[in-house]
Amino acid sequence: MYVSSEGNYSNVVTSDGRSRLVTYQLGQVEDAINDQLGDEGMTFLRLGRSLIINTEYIYLVDVTKQVLILSDFHGSFHELSASKEVLAKLKAYIESIERTNHD
Amino acid sequence: MIRLDDNIQDDELRVLGKPSPEEPKKKGFKWYYAVAILLIISGVIFAAVRLFDIRRNEIVPDFYETELSDTIAMSETIPVMEKLGNYKDSSKAYTEHIEMTVNDIPLDIYIPHNAKPRLFIGTPDLNDKNVIFTTQAADIRADNGKINGAFVLAGEPKAWGLSKKGYCGIIDGKITIGVAANSPLFEEATETGGYFFRQYPLVDNGKLVENEPKGKSIRKAICQRGEEIVVVMTSEPESFHDFSQALIDLGASNAVYLVGSASYGYFRDKFDQLSIIYNKQRGGQKYENHIQWVKE
């Protein structure tokens, strides 16, 4: 669901609600996603220095309140905070992705 | 793997899944400039083509609606509920096709009879005579090709997420259409072997729901009209607003969008005659999905 930076470690939170502290810096996690997932990794976004999120779990982006909520849509919510600038960019990014459908 | 230089600022956003940009080598400057110029030229051409395409066909933007506007208008006149369909034949599975004009908007209305609704992932086979009606349901994400928004197929969740507030659930063969950020139908579908997908909300309890995309396109929707469930399609490109208003004037109490434009679909009439609404798209998508009615 998301990975947050904990100094020289990273906290990996999965959609089943479990979190694991791993001995990798966030940049190393980013590299691993890039190297191992390829295009599939485009589901993930790096938000500033301290967060990597899976966009499939975005529930709410509130730029004003600097709140980002991720959810597994089964009743589990994770409220995260990030800078207004990066949340504004996140919102713009999401809104800019065009569907391949012919709506 | 030691990464000493984590080159990102707190206000930056980076899409992963692509190789990290490397420092340009001095010898490669001219090469990079050439590639950059080519990219810019390609970008301009692509943007021009897209702009032309958008103006011509109105491809609706934004797969994620964070600011769906509020309900704005109440239908003033909801017609007396006479059923649209002909229900005299109670045994044969077929699709009734009605052409009707509402507020100068020509509509094609499809009413499946004596058949069971379901969702389907893939490209339906025209030769499958059990299918009496099929049309594309949930949108596909452009970034990863997966289904946009929560989707349950025969009890199995295939996608998660709130992309749009409209939903359609099928539990024990009964279709429920509504508007909610969280719907217990998702869980119910997973527990009962049912189906669930999300789309743009169009009509919520007789009220028109405005949506962000403002252009015109062929519009499609699944509607609840009294006790009837009907699929409605415009013959001509229409705006979301005019389409939603036409659905209200038709008597729809609840309606959500279906993949519009020339999306694939077909039906079989009372005489087992197959009619293709719009043909298959070239280069089908892995997660193309349909709402369809099949013989029981």
Tell if the CB–CB gap between A56 and B13 is shorter than 8 Å.
Answer: no
Angle at CA of residue B63, ends B61 and B67, nearest 5°: 90
Question: How many Å lie between the alpha carbon of A12 and the closest alpha carbon of chain B?
Answer: 16
Cβ proximity of B292 and B118 under 8 Å: yes
Q: How far is it, in rounded angstroms, from Cα B120 to Cα B237?
A: 26
Rounded to 5 degrees, φ, ψ at B243 are -65, -45
* A29 lies within 8 A of chain B by CB: no
Tell if the CB–CB gap between B143 and A43 is shorter than 8 Å.
Answer: yes
Out of A26, A39, A101, whose CB is closest to B17? A39
Q: How far is it, in rounded angstroms, from Cα B40 to Cα B268?
A: 49
Q: How far is it, in rounded angstroms, from Cα B231 to Cα A36?
A: 43
For residue B230, which of B101, B119, B112 has the smallest C-alpha distance? Answer: B112
Cβ proximity of A73 and A80 under 8 Å: no
For residue B200, which of B251, B155, B237, B148 has the smallest C-alpha distance? Answer: B148
Question: pLDDT value at position B26?
Answer: 43
What are B276's strand-pairing partners? B266
Rg (CA), chain A: 14
Cα→Cα distances B277→B108, B183, B234, B261, B269, Å: 10, 31, 12, 11, 12
Cβ proximity of B225 and B253 under 8 Å: yes
Tell if the CB–CB gap between A101 and B259 is shorter than 8 Å.
Answer: yes
- What part of A 50-69 touches B (C-beta under 8 Å)? 50, 52, 55-61
The highest-level CATH class for domain A2-102 is mainly beta
- The three-state (H, E, C) secondary structure of A35-80, written as one string: HHHHHHHHHEEEECCCEEEEHHHEEEEECCCCEEEEECCCCCEEEE
Residue pLDDT tens, chain B, 296 long: 445 457 788 888 888 876 545 444 444 455 566 666 677 777 766 666 565 454 444 433 333 333 333 333 333 344 456 888 888 877 889 999 999 898 889 999 999 999 999 999 998 988 899 999 999 999 988 777 889 889 999 999 998 876 788 999 999 999 999 998 888 899 899 999 999 999 999 999 999 999 877 788 999 999 999 999 999 999 999 999 999 999 999 999 999 999 988 888 999 998 889 999 888 776 667 889 999 999 98
Cβ proximity of B11 and A48 under 8 Å: yes
In the predicted model, what is the mean pLDDT of residues A15-37?
85
Quote the longest CA-to-CA distance of chain A. Answer: 46
Q: How far is it, in rounded angstroms, from Cα B162 to Cα B168?
A: 13
Q: In B266-284, which positions are buried (b, 16+ CB within 10 angstroms) versus exposed (e)?
A: bbbeeeeeeeebbeebeee
- The 3-state DSSP class for residue B230 equals strand
| ipTM for this model | 0.84
Q: How far is it, in rounded angstroms, from Cα A8 to Cα B152?
A: 39
- Residue ranges per structural domain of chain A: 2-102
In the predicted model, what is the mean pLDDT of residues A30-40?
84
Q: How far is it, in rounded angstroms, from Cα B196 to Cα B171?
A: 9
Tell if the CB–CB gap between B146 and A56 is shorter than 8 Å.
Answer: yes
Question: pLDDT value at position B283?
Answer: 62
Question: pLDDT value at position B61?
Answer: 33
Chain B CB contacts of A48 under 8 Å are: 8-13
Cβ proximity of B83 and B228 under 8 Å: yes
In the chain, the amino acid numbered B121 is I
CB neighbourhood size of B94 (10 A): 22
Question: pLDDT value at position B197?
Answer: 95
How confident is the model over B42-81, as pLDDT tens digits? 776 666 656 545 444 443 333 333 333 333 333 334 445 6
How confident is the model over B99-114, as pLDDT tens digits? 989 888 999 999 999 9
Sign of CA dihedral B249, B253, B259, B265: negative
- How many residue contacts between A and B have a Cβ separation below 8 Å? 167
Sheet holding B254-258, edge to edge: B71-74, B207-209, B201-204, B254-258, B220-225, B228-234, B105-113, B94-102
Structure tokens at A12: 């990996």
Q: In A54-69, which positions are buried (b, 16+ CB within 10 angstroms) versus exposed (e)?
A: bbbbbbebebeeeebe
Question: pLDDT value at position A72?
Answer: 78
Cβ proximity of B96 and B267 under 8 Å: no
CB neighbourhood size of B125 (10 A): 10
pTM higher than 0.80 = no
